[in-house]
Structure 1
Amino acid sequence: MIEILTTGVANSVQDLGRFGYLEAGVSRSGAMDGPALETANLLLGNRPEAAGLEIAVFPFRARFDSSTLIAVTGSDCPVSLGGRIYPSWWVQEARAGDVLELGLPRFGARAYIGFSGGISVPPVLGSASTDIKSGWGGFGGRGLRRGDRLELSPGTSVLANLPGGFGIDPAEIRPNASGGDAIRVIAGAEHPVFDPASLSAFEAAPWRVTDEANRQGYRLAGPELKLTRRLELLSHGIMPGTIQVPPSGQPIIQLAEANTCGGYPKIAHVIEADLWRLGQAPVGTELRFTVVNRHEAVEALKRQRSALARVADEAALARRDATRHRGTVGRAAE
């Protein structure tokens, strides 16, 4: 069990999402930076889809009632546990009475906390994700509040004799994460209907994330994007990553709690391998886009999945080493 001491309403229980219900108007939800939460679970030996915490408001503080293992990933933020300082993307043992504190990120917007065994909440439509927009799933269908107590599923604690823990370099799964690389997109259905100047500006211009940004989507500010002709579109299916252009000419990127349908023209779609970069883009960030083809999008996703598989293998070796070390120490003490 953990008790929430300091938080914000944007902090919530999330897993990798709620799939298979878009046709019923149910958003995917899930972590804005899915690979970060998945990595936390892989480091701990959990199922990749185990529920953890998404932290978007800092500082965040929580106290542990009993010992367990935790992993903090996502943004590059200060991490302290029981007064001990740790890096992010690291596994460490939380002892009974320890307080975990996450400070303001130096880079990125969202941190993820994984717990050995995961957070135990009743699934809704097969997922533990909180759909804050709709008010269901997660912990009571809402963001976290001070005094909330969250139950953890049974896990393991094998690092008792390795207090330093272990972790990975996040560059293993996200090279150049802090660089200025453009976010990769594939052309949307209405891409050819935008005028040449707008298509050029879409890739050449910086787009600022405005303060109209949340888990549902980001509104961007930049050059006005214009169509070559008037379009009357019926509402149609959209997904996280869809970039729509309303009459204002300022793009909107649909994200984790995206609407499931809409009628604005679609200029592009962010590829799956780059969606995490939007989850780590705070208000005021300048984004750039580059159009790629389907083959490039698929290859990027394959590389990401291969990197996560390597993390799973490395973490399994580290856990085996910790177990072996514990057994060696125990025999030496007999």
Structure 2
Amino acid sequence: MGLVVRKPGVYTSIQDNGRFGYQGSGFSTNGVMDHRAYTIANLLVENEPNAPVLEFALAGPMLRFTTKTIIALTGADFGATIDGEPAPRYTALMVKRGSILRFGAAKTGCYGYLAIAGGSVRVPEVMGSRSTNLKCEFGGWKGRTLMTGDYLPFVTKSLDFLPNLGSHRIDPDPFYGFEEGEVRVRVVPGPQEDLFTNQGIETFYGQTYTTTAKCDRMGYRLDGPEIETRHGSDIISDGIAFGAVQVPSHGRPIIMLADRQTTGGYAKIGTIATVDIPKLVQRPPGSRVRFEPVTVQQAQELLRAEARQFEMLALKVRRPSADGISPRRTARRLTPILERQAAKTQADTLWIDRANRAERVGSRNALQYDEAPDKKAGANDAPQNASRGNGRTA
């Protein structure tokens, strides 16, 4: 039981939180581009935090479900429909066996996510992760993006119930600010900030940059004013973090993302705060970006605040609701209770209520047999009483 890919969409792959501990061996971390949308999607269907999801960009896939299950859609708005009916985002949705889930082109944002209740799709874990490494061709589904005709089995064969399903929804996330013409992202300066002139640093934080069509899971190239360096931007290659802002010799920043190389030889003027990376990756080409410096401590506090927000969301989606009880499960749980109660009630009834008709009415023959001696005894008693009375009066 799982889903069949009718149309693969654009860059549709299986991703989770990422593959860590192997960058020293040259393997990228991979994982989702928008960790915020990914986390909320798994919260809505009560999956484990690192459960895999389907990630797609710019245009979504068309999928057919071969079993009944519950899903959640987050991230960009692709105008999704289930069997022709609108499928809202940020809501746990029941899909039936044979249902068709369709996505169009992205209306807002770039990356969309599909989470499936019960642990999502069943794919092997490679080096501690189920994320797809497209360059090395391992992980995820056969180490590649999805193709027409692929059949992806589910971890749970059929899942038709989640407690309090009516509460598994939140308002569309205002965090991204899609309606705003410009996005501001916070940056931790360094580690090679000293290789840039003061004018170069002021340009980076004071000017507006624009996302270009040269963007993918590896990195986003920005267009804008040139960032001035002291003696060029070439350095001895060192490690690259998620969100690192490299400045090549042409002076325009490149932001390194999920499928980035493990090391690089260009100076890094800063690293985008983890909480703000989703804002950037959801911006289509032509979007305006401004950078704002923050300290390491401030970036860490932002991350802790986001973790607290996720905890509150987890409580919110599990609050009691009118449809929080499954009739079948309730019947199975109540049956032994009602049987015990019925047995106790039967034991507490009066004898006359428990007795059958023969016990209540009795046998006619037995009744006549019992009455005859009484009548005979009554007739014999009369003379004796009379004689006793005569004796006393005499």
Select which of 196, 199, 220 maps to 2:198: 196
Aligned to 2:383: none
Per-residue CA deviations over 1:224-259 (Å, capped at 9, x if unaligned) read 112122465211111210001111111111100111
2:275 aligns with: 273
Larger Rg: 1 or 2? 2
Question: Among residues 214, 234, 242, which one is paired with 1:212 in the alignment?
Answer: 214
Task: Measure the CA separation in 2 of the matches of 1:125 and 1:238.
Answer: 20
Q: Which residue of 2 aligns with 1:225?
A: 227
Residue 183 of structure 2 corresponds to residue 157 of structure 1? no
TM, length-normalised to structure 1: 0.91
Is the aligned partner of 1:66 residue 2:30? no
Q: 1:160 Cα shift? A: 11
**Aligned equivalents of 1:156, 1:310: Cα separation in 2:** 25
1:110 aligns with 2:111: yes
Partner of 1:142: 144
Please tell me whether the aligned partners of residues 68 and 159 of structure 2 are also in contact (alpha carbons under 8 angstroms): no
Identity within the alignment, %: 34
Q: Is the 8 A contact 1:130 1:138 kept in 2?
A: yes
The CA deviation at 1:317 is 2.2
Instruction: Give, in whole Å, the separation in 2 of the partners of 1:4 and 1:28.
Output: 26
Asked if residue 94 in structure 1 is aligned to residue 95 in structure 2, the reply is yes
Deviation readout 1:86-105 (Å, 9 max, x if unpaired): 21111101100100112222
Change beyond 3 A, Cα 1:305–1:161: closer
Residue identity in the other structure for 1:83? G
**CA RMSD across the alignment:** 2.4
Which stretch shows the higher mean deviation, 231-240 or 153-162? 153-162
Partner of 2:44: 43
The ranges of structure 1 where at least 4 consecutive aligned residues each deviate by more than 3 angstroms after the TM superposition are 159-162, 175-181, 320-323, 325-331
Rounded to whole Å, the distance in 2 between the matches of 1:125 and 1:321 is 43
Moved more, 141-150 or 99-108: 99-108
Structure 1 counterpart SS, 2:74: strand
Instruction: Say if 1:187 and 1:264 are closer, same or farther in 2 by CA, change over 3 A.
Output: same
Give yes or no for contact 2:77–2:89 (8 Å, CA) kept in 1: yes
Gaps of 5+ in 1: none
The match for 2:79 is 78
Greater shift, 26-35 or 280-289, is seen at 280-289
Are the equivalent residues in 1 in contact too, given 2:234–2:267 (CA < 8 A)? no
Structure 2 Cα separation of the partners of residues 71 and 230 of structure 1: 47
Distance 1:269-1:328 versus aligned 2 partners, 3 A rule = same
Q: 2:121–2:153: 8 Å Cα contact kept in structure 1?
A: yes
Kept in 2: contact 1:240–1:257 (CA 8 A): no
Q: Which amino acid aligns with 1:282?
A: P
- Corresponding residue number in structure 2 for 1:52: 53
Deviations 1:34-68, CA, capped at 9 Å, x for gaps: 12111111111110110110011414210000100
Residue 31 of structure 2 aligns to a residue whose secondary structure is: coil
Secondary structure of the equivalent of 1:158?
coil
CA contact (8 A) 1:93 1:159 kept: no
Unaligned runs of at least 5 residues, structure 2? 336-394
Counterparts of 2:29 and 2:290 in 1: how far apart (Å)? Answer: 25
| Number of equivalences | 329
Describe the SS at the equivalent of 2:235. Answer: coil
Task: Say whether residues 1:255 and 2:293 are aligned partners.
Answer: no
Say whether the 8 Å CA contact 1:241–1:275 is kept in structure 2: yes
